[in-house]
Chain A
Amino acid sequence: DTAVSQTPKYLVTQMGNDKSIKCEQNLGHDTMYWYKQDSKKFLKIMFSYNNKELIINETVPNRFSPKSPDKAHLNLHINSLELGDSAVYFCASSQLTRDTEAFFGQGTRLTVV
């Protein structure tokens, strides 16, 4: 039973389209994240939510809008896709006590053509 699952795993779309990536965790964690991994494999935080509340929005363009309907879900909607949005997007979750790490989903490879 997958702990953090995101769909789809691969997404190919044209410039200007709108797309969504869904994420669900069954670990009972209170915090969820979106990270972006660029073509050089660099991982950077985009958003984090704690108990459905947005905590971090790390200078991400307004075209990216996260939504957390409940603690177990964090979706990412992207409007007007651009070539530069091509990357791997990772969802992750954690429980913010002292001794926990973040658990990652499998990643979604987004290719904008």
Chain B
Amino acid sequence: AQTVTQSQPEMSVQEAETVTLSCTYDTSESDYYLFWYKQPPSRQMILVIRQEAYKQQNATENRFSVNFQKAAKSFSLKISDSQLGDAAMYFCAYRSPRGGSNYKLTFGKGTLLTVNP
């Protein structure tokens, strides 16, 4: 079974600075999808960024980028120029493209990010 590990329960960053959230996963598959979701205090789950394992290029969405290291099974999220609105719980998630595991996301336990003004 796939597992997703976020080793940082909490992180803090100063406004305008850069922070990196860590995520590692365990899988025997070569093709899969990885996601970062953000959950602000409003409780809504919001997709931040996604990465397909077959793509070597790291995904980027404005101030958010990932460092995808397939051999190391690592998928970290970098937030540049942090803003107060970035404060939230961040979840790393994995999805397999086949079989029963195609029909679910496996989540890490989350990292609570605080942004200090």
Contacts and interface: CB of A to CB of B under 8 A. Distances in A.
Interface of A: 31, 33, 35, 40-45, 48, 50, 55-56, 58, 88, 90, 92, 96, 98-99, 101-104, 106-107, 109
Contacts of A90: 45
Interface in B2-60: 33, 35, 37, 39, 42-45, 47, 50, 52
B103 A40 contact: no
A31 B109 contact: no
Given A42-B109, A42-B110, A56-B104, A101 B44 contact: no
Given A41-B109, A98-B97, A50 B44 contact: no
Interface of A is mostly: strand
Given A40-B109, A104-B44, A48 B52 contact: no
Interface pairs A-B: 10 shortest CB-CB: A104-B45, A45-B104, A48-B103, A43-B107, A55-B103, A107-B43, A101-B47, A41-B110, A56-B103, A101-B50
Interface string B89-117: 10100000100101111110110000000
Interface of B: 33, 35, 37, 39, 42-45, 47, 50, 52, 89, 91, 97, 100, 102-107, 109-110
Contacts of A109: 43
Given A40-B109, A98-B97, A106 B102 contact: no
A104 B38 CA distance: 11
Contacts of B91: 43
A92 B103 CA distance: 11
Nearest to A49: B103
Contact of A107 (B33, B44, B103, B105): B44
B52 A96 contact: no
B31 to A, nearest CB: 9
Nearest to A55: B103
A48 B100 CA distance: 10
